[in-house]
């Protein structure tokens, strides 16, 4: 029995590595949340669905990645550092004056009033809904 366990584990590792290194033309998507478990789960689901995905734990890193990678969607927790950082990030991206990614805020709490985000997703996330949003963005002209 111990001889089959390493084989099963190596197949699982190889499958996840192939998903994680997928070079799909879809995306990228930037996931911003202070919780590493949330970032990891969302990244794994999106990469498993064929989307390139990056993550950030703070607003400064997120803004840097938006400028460098030009993601199609930024999915950010509304309040990931105690100061409405996701909402502030959405406002900063909307006031850029030029190109900007679509922004989806996520929270277990109700949608913030007067937000400039394009989408709002309630936690726990419904991944089918997120994939539907990504596919609609992917089909928009100009991407």
User: Which pLDDT score is estimated for 143?
Assistant: 64
> What length is written for the chain?
143
- How far CA 133 is from CA of 4, 37, 112, 140, in Å, comes to 41, 22, 19, 11
For residue 17, the Cα-to-chain-centroid distance in whole angstroms is 19
User: Which pLDDT score is estimated for 99?
Assistant: 87
Tokens of 93: 């991206």
User: Splitting the chain (143 residues) into consecutive groups of 10 residues, what average pLDDT does each group show?
Assistant: 40 36 74 97 97 96 96 94 86 88 95 90 97 95 74
pTM: 0.81
Q: List, edge to edge, every strand of the sheet that includes 51-56.
A: 51-56, 26-32, 73-77, 102-107, 119-122
For residue 32, the Cα-to-chain-centroid distance in whole angstroms is 7
């Amino acid at each position: 029995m111990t001889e089959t366990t390493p084989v099963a584990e190596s197949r699982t590792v190889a499958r996840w590595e192939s998903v994680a290194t997928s070079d799909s033309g879809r995306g990228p998507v930037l996931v911003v949340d202070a919780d590493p478990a949330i970032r990891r789960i969302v990244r794994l689901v999106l990469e498993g669905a064929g989307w390139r995905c990056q993550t950030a734990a703070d607003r400064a890193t997120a803004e840097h990645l938006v400028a460098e990678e030009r993601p199609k969607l930024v999915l950010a927790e509304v309040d990931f550092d105690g100061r409405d950082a996701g909402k502030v990030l959405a406002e900063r991206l909307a006031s850029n004056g030029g190109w900007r990614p679509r922004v989806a805020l996520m929270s277990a709490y109700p949608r913030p009033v007067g937000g400039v985000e394009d989408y709002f997703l309630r936690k726990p996330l419904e991944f089918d809904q997120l994939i539907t949003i990504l596919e609609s963005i992917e089909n928009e002209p100009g991407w």
